[in-house]
Structure 1
């Protein structure tokens, strides 16, 4: 009799969890481009990612739930507006790609787990994470900017809006 009750209890628990499991599989995580587009302040970043053919790679990293995930420090349109258009327009594709990759970390981190330093996808480059008065800042060495509230933060994707473009 006791084993029948245990079986019934286990069966009930499995049935109660089934909708949760189905809900996760029915709604895959959003890709990086979708999150940035919904953020409405990242059209320059999306344009540059597209021109450098980095959107497919960013989307792949951001939706792979069996991988390490990805963290993106996303400069807003206002951040790019601080850089003179002549400078942005005269960057080579290789320079643009390295600047963009400096903003991407091939691992999911949230506020509590960001290491210092954090390696980026830009060859040999890391970013420093600094905590001042309970606020987080990210620094490339040349540029330091505050990490604002995450635009999106759920494994496998973490996106922080930043007010400055990080430069190598």
Structure 2
């Protein structure tokens, strides 16, 4: 009886060991799963415009009209991207103050939307854009010009020049403009420009700036008096020399 039990235990052990060996051979090899690629870092347009340079006025209007949210959403789209044309602060200063303040909220929003394309374009693509003009912005259209490496953006009453590349890495491009785009859809007539300040008078002796300076009249009177005194001294000296010459000549004749 004990022998049969031992034989049964041995058979069960052999069966268990054989099944374990088979399961180990049939087990699929372990394959390491690669770590997921990091999500692309989105460019924060508000931060970029704030730190890049003189684009404070443009950023102010983008924020006021909520267009910054539209642009940022498009900037996060890695398939299409965005191309922003940012007028410099000097471009806004060239406009009369009432040009933008007289616009309705919808008009101002459309004007800001008119300063970006809903697609990323690097600088090398602008020659093709010029050939395909007019091209669409978020609102209305513009004509792109390309000549000898100089890029222009023409919209209604404004012919702007692309001054520099602020940022250009897909899917976001930001380019600086020297003028604000002024589409005729918003401005039926040419907007009024800010008055150009008169140049300051060049400083110079005897000029108006010198004459208006404090104490100028006193200095002028003193200079005139000095000039008269010098003239008198010169005339007196001339008379003495002439008298001496006459005496010498007279003495020679008497001899």
Which bracket does the TM-score occupy, shorter chain normalised? Answer: 0.7 to 0.9
Alpha-carbon distance in structure 2 between the residues aligned to 1:135 and 1:49: 27
Contact 2:88 2:176 in 1 (8 A): yes
Q: State the 1:136 CA deviation.
A: 0.8
- 1:31 touches 1:59 (CA, 8 Å); kept in 2? yes
- Taking structure 1 as the reference length, the TM-score comes to 0.79
Q: How many residues align?
A: 145
TM-score (norm 2): 0.53
After superposition, the Cα gap between the structure-2 partners of 1:63 and 1:31, relative to the gap in structure 1 and judged at 3 Å, is farther
| Structure 1: stretches of 5+ with no match in the other structure | 1-14
Question: Root-mean-square deviation (CA), in Å?
Answer: 1.9
After superposition, residues 41-120 of structure 1 pair within 5 angstroms as 41-65=54-78, 67-114=79-126, 115=129, 116-120=133-137
Q: Is the CA contact (8 Å cut-off) linking 1:31 and 1:63 kept in structure 2?
A: no
Distance apart, 1:105 and its partner CA: 0.5
Matched with 2:147 is 132
Q: What is the DSSP-based 3-state SS (H/G/I as helix, E as strand, rest coil) of the residue aligned with 2:124? A: coil
Larger strand fraction of residues:
1
Q: In terms of Rg, which structure is larger?
A: 2
Q: CA deviation at 1:27?
A: 6.3
**Structure 1 Cα separation of the partners of residues 42 and 164 of structure 2:** 19
| Counterpart position of 2:3 | none
Higher helix share: 2
CA distance, structure 2, for counterparts of residue 108 and residue 81 of structure 1: 28
The answer to which structure, 1 or 2, has the higher relative contact order (CA under 8 A, 6+ apart) is 1
